């Protein structure tokens, strides 16, 4: 048994990082380790947070110890947390890095922990280069990366970005495990009933926080394609706006898409995620740029074909005309991919999806982290 601490968001904070960390802790504990999570008492100042709330209304996960003690903007707090974790002497700390803003807090904590000359620091790097650039990004990122002993990335794109900062520390590439903690697959008819949708008809899904780099505007323009209108294909947008909604609502009005677009733009609680995935025919990720995406393993779990753009790590995760379709990040190409999907039919993709999803296990990730730590 090893004592393992995950540093990163967890309940009552919401979002994909919190969900991932809790599922990872659960897997470590299933393997016989003693794993807990050290999360944030303050993750973002309210003026920096683009959504409506940082907190989840879902119940806390069972059997996982979560300590919410990190204040991202209080240097005195960083010192106190670092000293506390140094005294606890866990064998492994797994730290998440997704935003340069978190670099100073996390790196200060980790530097203090490492003074015990015992704990090994493994970083799961979701992003090394942020999607939206800000002053200080490189300095904060470099300061953080220097505090780690080894790295896990979940896409080749992030691995290449990492090598621009760190070339002498070990890196393992492990595919993002499946989000298998949102419930079982349910029938499309039942899922649509839960959402108040008619059982018939063609519905594609855009899922997740809405930000400029995710390309929802490209998808809305694609929905104006003549053939998509003729087939009466509808787009369901399920996720909260993390920027001004006006530009997207204006596109709906400009292209007269009111009858083609279903907006479910409140935050989706974990207990309702399965309804949206299971109600859709396929999931569309029309991203302008990407590293990896948490939506992809979610779609794999619910066996939903994907239409992804040819950016970042997405094409390697979604084999073309097997687990889904790959297209260019422009409205015309996206529209052609949508019509091609319906030509093939969702049943065409199911055997390939079931085969591909076998690669994405949580135990593969936990074993890789422990092996990497032992090798240091």
Q: What is the percent of the chain where pLDDT is above 90?
A: 74
pLDDT in tens, 72-81: 999 999 999 9
pLDDT in tens, 322-376: 999 999 999 999 999 999 999 999 899 999 999 888 888 899 999 999 999 999 8
Residue 51 binned pLDDT confidence (cut-offs 50, 70, 90): low
pLDDT at 257: 95
Q: What is the percent of the chain where pLDDT is above 70?
A: 96
Asked if residues 46 and 73 have their Cβ atoms less than 8 Å apart, the reply is no
Question: Rounded distance, CA 64 to CA 311, Å?
Answer: 36
pLDDT at 103: 96
Question: Rounded distance, CA 246 to CA 248, Å?
Answer: 5
Residue 107 binned pLDDT confidence (cut-offs 50, 70, 90): very high
Rounded mean pLDDT of 29-33?
Answer: 95
Name the average pLDDT for the chain.
92
pLDDT at 340: 97
pLDDT at 129: 85
Counting every residue written for the chain, the total comes to 376
pLDDT in tens, 88-100: 999 999 999 999 9
190 vs 52, higher pLDDT: 190
pLDDT at 60: 83
Rounded mean pLDDT of 274-291?
Answer: 93
CB burial of 36-56 (b: ≥16 within 10 Å; e: otherwise) equals bbbbbeebbeeeeeebeebeb
Question: Rounded distance, CA 155 to CA 176, Å?
Answer: 8
Question: Rounded distance, CA 23 to CA 25, Å?
Answer: 5
Q: Is the predicted pLDDT of residue 46 greater than 80, yes or no?
A: no
What phi-psi label fits residue 8: left (phi over 0), alpha (psi between -120 and 50 degrees) or beta?
A: left
Architecture of domain 188-359: 3-Layer(aba) Sandwich (3.40)
For the record, the structure tokens of 87 come out as 């005294």
Dihedral sign for Cα 185, 187, 189, 190, please: negative
Asked if residues 168 and 347 have their Cβ atoms less than 8 Å apart, the reply is no
Domain limits, CATH 3.40.50.2000, in the chain: 188-359
Three state DSSP letters for 42-58: ECCCHHHCCCCCCECCC
pLDDT in tens, 130-163: 877 778 899 999 999 999 999 999 888 899 999 9
pLDDT at 47: 59
pLDDT at 266: 83
List CB contacts of 77: < 8 A, sequence separation 6 or more: 41, 69, 70, 71
Question: Rounded distance, CA 119 to CA 373, Å?
Answer: 9
Q: For domain 3-177+361-375, give the CATH number.
A: 3.40.50.11930
Residue 52 binned pLDDT confidence (cut-offs 50, 70, 90): low
Domain limits, CATH 3.40.50.11930, in the chain: 3-177+361-375
For the record, the structure tokens of 207 come out as 């899922």
| pTM for the model | 0.78
Asked if residues 4 and 33 have their Cβ atoms less than 8 Å apart, the reply is yes
Q: Is the predicted pLDDT of residue 56 greater than 80, yes or no?
A: no
Question: Rounded distance, CA 23 to CA 256, Å?
Answer: 42
Residue 317 binned pLDDT confidence (cut-offs 50, 70, 90): confident
């Amino acid at each position: 048994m090893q004592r393992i601490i995950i540093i990163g968001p967890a309940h009552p904070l919401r979002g994909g990082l919190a969900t991932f960390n809790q599922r990872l802790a659960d897997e470590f504990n299933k393997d016989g380790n003693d794993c807990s999570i050290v999360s944030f008492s303050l993750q973002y100042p309210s003026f920096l947070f683009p959504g409506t709330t940082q907190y989840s209304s879902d119940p806390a996960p069972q059997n996982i110890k979560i300590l919410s003690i990190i204040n991202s903007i209080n240097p005195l707090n960083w010192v106190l947390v670092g000293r506390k974790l140094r005294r606890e002497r866990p064998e492994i700390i797994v730290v998440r890095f997704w935003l340069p803003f978190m670099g100073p807090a996390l790196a200060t904590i980790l530097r203090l922990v490492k003074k015990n000359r015992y704990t090994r620091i493994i970083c799961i790097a979701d992003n090394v280069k942020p999607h939206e650039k800000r002053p200080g990004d490189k300095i904060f990122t470099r300061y953080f990366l220097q505090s780690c002993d080894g790295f896990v990335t979940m896409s080749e794109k992030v691995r290449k970005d990492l090598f621009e900062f760190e070339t002498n520390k070990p890196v393992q590439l492990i595919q993002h495990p499946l989000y298998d903690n949102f419930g079982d697959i349910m029938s499309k008819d039942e899922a649509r009933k839960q959402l108040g949708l008619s059982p018939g008809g063609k519905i594609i899904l855009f899922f997740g926080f809405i930000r400029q780099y995710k390309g929802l505007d490209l998808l809305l323009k694609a929905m104006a394609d003549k053939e998509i209108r003729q087939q009466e294909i509808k787009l369901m947008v399920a996720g909260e706006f993390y920027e001004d909604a006006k530009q997207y609502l204006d596109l709906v009005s400009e292209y007269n898409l009111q009858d083609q677009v279903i907006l479910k733009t409140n935050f989706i609680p974990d207990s309702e995620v399965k309804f949206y995935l299971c109600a859709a025919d396929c999931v569309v990720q029309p991203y302008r740029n990407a590293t990896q995406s948490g939506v992809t393993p979610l779609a794999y779990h619910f066996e939903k074909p994907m239409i992804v753009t040819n950016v970042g790590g997405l094409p390697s995760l979604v084999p073309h005309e097997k687990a889904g379709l790959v297209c260019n990040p422009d409205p015309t190409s996206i529209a052609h991919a949508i019509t091609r999907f319906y030509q093939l039919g969702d049943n065409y993709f199911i055997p390939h999806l079931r085969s591909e999803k076998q690669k994405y296990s949580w135990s593969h990730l936990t074993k890789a982290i422990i092996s990497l730590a032992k090798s240091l």
